[in-house]
Every structure is written in C-alpha cells, then in structure tokens.
C-alpha cells in the first residue's frame, strides 16, 4: 500500500512539474510580432528616435489588443518609414481596426506645412490649405497626400526635396513635431552632369531612406575639380583653416564625380554637423547600398562622406588619374563599368 501510494504520489508530482515546465516554455516563446519587433530594434539601434517611435507604437493599448498577424502587419508598415509620424498613424489604424466606427485623430496631423512641386500648403487637421485659404487636398500621418486635382495619392517621401512638417498635439496640449524634413538637395547637386548617374542614384536612395527614418539630411558637396582638391588639401597646411582632407588632387573620388558629402539640416533648414546626430545610422544605410562610408576610415574620420567605385578601394582613386587625363570623367566611369553620361 505504501509502495503504491508512493509511486502514485511521485507520478502526480512529476506530472505537475511537466505541466508547469510546458507552461513556462510556452510563455517564454516569443510571438512572430515580438520577434519582428526585436529585429527592428536591432536594425534601428543607431537611430534612437526611430527606436523611440517603435516603442510608442508597441506600448499603445490598441496595438496590444491586435492579433499577432495584425501586429506583424503594423510592424511591416512601420518599417517602411520608421518614424514618429508613422507610429502615430498606426496607433490610429489599430484603434480603427478594433472599432471600425472610431475616427482617431492620430490618423492625420493637427498642423504643419508641406511644400510639394513648388506649392506650399499649411496643414490644418489633415487638410492642406493653399495660399488662397481653400482646402487643396488632404494629408495623413503616414505621409500619404491626396491633392484635389489628382486621382492618385503620393508620398511625402517620394521626392527628397519635399519640405514637410507634420505636427500633433501631445498630452500636454502642446504641438510637437512628428516629422520635420527640409529639401535635401535644394541646389540640385545630384543633377550635376559631373556626378556619375549611378552615384547620384545611390546617394538619393541613401538620403531617401534616412528621411523615412526622420533624419533631416542634405547634400553639401559633390564634384570637385583637381585644382579645387589641391586647394582643399592646402587648408590647414600651407593655407589658413583646419585640415579637412588627406587627399591631393586626383586622390579623391570627388574629382571623378563618384563621391558626395552630406550634412544634417538644422531647425532653419541650414546645413549643420552636430556631433550627436545619427551619423552611424546614415553610414549603415550607405554601406547597405554598396557605398563606401568615410566614417569607417582610420585617420581622418569623414562621417559626411560617401563614395562609389566598384572593384577599387577607397585609397585607389589616384589610379584613375591617367584615365581622367586621357578621356575625362567618361573614361573613368567606363573603366569602372559605370557607363558615360
């Protein structure tokens, strides 16, 4: 009897432990949405503003009530333009998903400005107000714009020269910026005929992605002649100023139209180079697109600089000088398999 009771008691305890272990195991297994959220946090780690926007989305009570599949869809949409405006919009989508009759104010910006195709509009509760004071269209916090005279929507992120500021009233009843982007190439440097078209395309792609992540960047330098390069090299050496480059004429990829420098826009839309800006994230975006980033160099750390020269290293620019002297930029580009103008 004692033996039976002992066996029975042991088996019962074991079953309870197994059940508890299985329960703990199930609880510790992350959902697809949780895994995707963690992946996003790691991918955006060098952009703390984007990570904070992700946190705002996933901490939202309506988001928490969505199914795992719906959360995954929301995270996919967030990743397309990971910034606070997108997160705010998706909070409204989550609320509307749970209650189709709801009309969340977070779907549209309360205020702001938009300059599109040379026309500037003020924003009032999702409406675009033209210079005549009339409603010219609508805009959402996900960046989708619908003008009254157009049949299709477009995104504020389509053109790197779109000026857009989306503002929302916060809990303290104060307007805060969700996104604030100025024109990224107001001087049309990437349209310079001396800039290789593939280089221009890649630089545009980098800046476009940075803008989607809420990073307000602009092009500040493009093609530079051999003579200009020598003058820049002299700075801080035989000419006044601080040393800004180690490259003499012909030794910089700027001299071949294969390099671009960028800066961050300040609040007034003017170029600035703040130490605490998201330079590392900008560098990650550039490297992901096959570009060389100056922030990875030893010696002079050139964080604003990106360049493109497939098959050659950053320090091999001078090997292109004979081709440049023989046939100009077209010869250099052809030698690198990048085509002429």
- Residue 137, pLDDT score: 99
- Tokens encoding 56: 């705002």
pLDDT at res. 4: 32
- At residue 8, the pLDDT reads 39
CATH class of the region 108-181 = mainly beta
CB 332 within 8 A of CB 320: yes
- 307, 236 Cβ separation under 8 angstroms: no
The per-residue pLDDT for 3 is 33
Alpha-carbon distance of 327 to 338, in angstroms, equals: 14
Per-residue confidence (pLDDT) for residue 246, from 0 to 100:
80
Q: What is the pLDDT of residue 132?
A: 97
How confident is the model at residue 27, as a pLDDT? 63
Q: Which of the residues in the chain have pLDDT under 70?
A: 1-27
CATH of domain 189-335: 3.30.1380.10
Q: Max CA-CA distance within the chain?
A: 103
Residue 5: what pLDDT?
A: 38
Sign of the torsion formed by the C-alpha atoms of 148, 80, 303 and 288: negative
Question: Measuring CA to CA, which residue among 317, 157, 106 is closest to residue 229?
Answer: 317
Burial (0-12, 13-18, 19+ Cβ within 10 Å), 132: exposed
Within 117-258, strands assigned E span: 119-124, 127-129, 135-139, 144-147, 154-155, 163-169, 175-181, 217-221
pLDDT recorded at residue 247: 83
Separation CA 10–CA 8 (nearest Å): 6
Residue 203 near residue 219 (C-beta atoms within 8 A): yes
Of 256, 261, 248, 271, nearest to 333 by C-alpha is 256
């Amino acid at each position: 009897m004692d033996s039976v009771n002992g066996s029975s008691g042991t088996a019962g305890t074991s079953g309870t432990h197994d059940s508890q272990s299985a329960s703990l195991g199930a609880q510790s297994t992350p959902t697809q949405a949780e895994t995707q959220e963690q992946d996003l946090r790691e991918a955006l780690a060098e952009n703390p503003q984007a990570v904070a926007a992700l946190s705002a989305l996933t901490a939202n009570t309506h988001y928490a009530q969505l199914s795992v599949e719906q959360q995954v869809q929301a995270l996919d949409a967030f990743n397309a333009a990971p910034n606070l405006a997108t997160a705010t919009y998706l909070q409204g989508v989550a609320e509307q998903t749970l209650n189709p009759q709801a009309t969340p104010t977070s779907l549209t910006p309360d205020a702001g400005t938009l300059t599109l195709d040379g026309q500037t509009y003020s924003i009032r509760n999702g409406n675009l107000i033209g210079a005549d004071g009339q409603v010219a269209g609508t805009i959402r916090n996900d960046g989708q714009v619908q003008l009254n005279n157009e049949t299709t929507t477009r995104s504020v992120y389509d053109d790197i020269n779109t000026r857009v500021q989306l503002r929302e009233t916060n809990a303290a009843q104060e307007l805060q910026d969700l996104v604030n982007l100025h024109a990224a190439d107001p001087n049309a440097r990437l349209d310079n005929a001396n800039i290789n078209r593939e280089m221009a395309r890649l630089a545009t792609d980098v800046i476009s992605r940075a803008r989607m992540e809420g990073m307000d960047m602009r092009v500040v330098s493009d093609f530079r002649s051999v003579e200009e390069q020598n003058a820049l090299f002299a700075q801080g050496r035989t000419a006044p100023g601080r040393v800004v480059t180690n490259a003499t004429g012909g030794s910089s990829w700027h001299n071949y139209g294969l390099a671009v420098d960028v800066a961050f826009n300040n609040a007034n839309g003017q170029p600035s180079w703040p130490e605490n800006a998201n330079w590392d994230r900008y560098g990650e975006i550039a490297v992901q697109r096959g570009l060389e980033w100056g922030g990875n160099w030893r010696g002079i750390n050139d964080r604003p600089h990106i360049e493109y020269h497939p098959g050659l290293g950053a320090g091999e620019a001078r090997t292109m000088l004979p081709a440049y002297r023989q046939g100009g930029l077209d010869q250099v580009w052809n030698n690198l398999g990048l085509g002429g103008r």
